[in-house]
Amino acid sequence: MYRLSFLIIIFILAGSLTGQEPKTHGPDFKMDCKACHNTSGWKVDLSKINFSHDNTKFKLRDQHAVADCKKCHKSLIFTGVKSACNSCHNDMHSMSVGNDCIRCHTTQNWLVNNIPQLHEQNGFPLAGAHTVLSCIDCHKSETNQRWDRIGNDCASCHLKNYNAATSPNHKAGGYSTHCTDCHEPISMTWGGGNFHFFFSLTEGHNIKDCTKCHDPGNFKAVSSECASCHLKDYNNTTNPKHASSGFGTNCIICHTTRPGWKPAQMANHDPVFFPIYSGKHAGKWGACTSCHLNPNDYKQYSCLNCHEHSNPTELAKDHKDVANYIFQSTACYNCHPKGSEK
């Protein structure tokens, strides 16, 4: 078709050309004729022209570089061909994603390889349970090339799940339809660690009755500081007696939510005070009270109940060359702050 119409145009032009050569390519054409023509006639062998399309306003790349000139230039008036992609290519998407085709396409082929990034840019990463779905599970338009807006809100796709939820019954419970108030945005299921992901309800906190922590019928955020709910427990401790022992109220330094508050591990004991989980004393003590003999005051400690019984005279021998050696815990600690020889 192109070829035929092209020839017709040339034919018509040829008939009326004498004296009008400069107008063949239109009145606005400014290029040097020698780039394409030579003195042997107006016929042009396109494989021999000394013309680079890169010097025009439209660089030819990929599939465009191998396309026939005539596919884009329907006449010898080269000027004025529009360069917007959709002036030559049909918008398969019926305007559902706009005219800026190069947001998703290149000139190589129509495949799109930035689908994950596109979803991220839309604030909807395809992660968790959404990784394994096909496009049409979510994009249900009348043609499978339309990408109509769906909306990122979980409820725009999952309202039916909300209505069907029985355990617990979401509607009856007056739960918000803003699912991420309670459910993790990205996960595989609606249960387990997905629910209440911002403050995990495990071990001692695996409590069915929400009102143990929330006002009835009101799921406003409450403080997640352990002490905001457990100060009474702290004040009631007897062994060890926390307040007088110098334990702070930042429970998570020593506790998890494990039922019974046991065992406790003091996360900053090694770097700040004395290595007990690492170094020479790791595994060598039974309870905190091996050193802190007085459970009401952890500022006190003793090194001697072990090192004395193990071998006090040996210890003195070991220190015979050490000036100022005395058999006293604070002295031991001062010379051995890391519980090691050096």
Using CB under 6 A, which residues numbered 249 to 308 contact ligand HEC? 249-264, 266, 269, 273-274, 276, 280-281, 284-285, 288, 290-292, 298-299, 301, 303, 305-307
- 319 in contact with ligand HEC (CB under 6 A): yes
Q: How far is the CB of 59 from ligand HEC (least distance, A)?
A: 9
Which one among 8, 52, 58, 59 touches ligand HEC, defined by CB under 6 A? 58
Please tell me the distance from the alpha carbon of residue 264 to that of residue 251, in angstroms, as a whole number: 10
**Does 218 engage in binding with ligand HEC (CB under 6 A)?**
no
Q: Given the complex with ligand HEC, which of 8 and 199 has the nearer CB atom? A: 199
From the CB of 142, what's the least distance to ligand HEC, in Å? 15
The verdict on 49 binding ligand HEC (CB under 6 A) reads yes
- Which of 142, 149, 217, 313 touches ligand HEC (CB under 6 A)? 149
Those residues whose C-beta lies under 8 Å from the C-beta of residue 222, and which sit 6 or more positions away, are 213, 214, 228
Determine if 192 is a binding residue for ligand HEC (CB under 6 A).
yes
Q: Which of 122, 202, 278, 311 binds ligand HEC (CB under 6 A)?
A: 122
Q: Contact at 8 Å (CB) between 251 and 261?
A: no
Give me the least distance between CB of 95 and ligand HEC, in Å please.
Answer: 8
CA distances for 206 relative to 173, 210, 231, 244, 258, angstroms = 19, 10, 20, 31, 10
Q: Which amino acid is at 267?
A: A
Which residues in 71-90 contact ligand HEC (CB under 6 A)?
A: 71-73, 76, 78-81, 83, 85-89
The one among 8, 31, 140, 311 contacting ligand HEC by CB under 6 A:
31
Residues 159-178 that bind ligand HEC (CB under 6 A): 161-162, 165-168, 170, 175-177
**By the rule CB under 6 A, 197 interacts with ligand HEC:** no
Please tell me whether residue 41 binds ligand HEC under the rule CB under 6 A. no
Least CB distance to ligand HEC at residue 192 (A): 6
| Nearest-5° Cα angle at 39, 36 to 43 | 55
Enumerate long-range contacts of 56-60, CB under 8 Å, 24 or more apart: 57/83, 58/83
CB of residue 117 to ligand HEC, shortest distance in Å: 10
Among residues 267, 305, 310, 264, the alpha carbon closest in space to that of 288 is found at: 264
With CB under 6 A as the rule, give the number of residues binding ligand HEC.
192
Phi and psi dihedrals of 162, rounded to 5? -60, -50
With binding defined as CB under 6 A, does residue 146 bind ligand HEC?
no
Near ligand HEC by CB under 6 A: residue from 75, 94, 234, 293: 234
Q: Would you put residue 246 in left (φ > 0), alpha (ψ -120 to 50) or beta?
A: left
Q: What's the residue count for the chain?
A: 342
CA nearest to 234, candidates 257, 216, 211, 261 = 261
CB distance 282 to 265 below 8 Å: no
36 binds ligand HEC (CB under 6 A): yes
Per the structure block, which two tokens stand in for 86? Answer: 């959709």
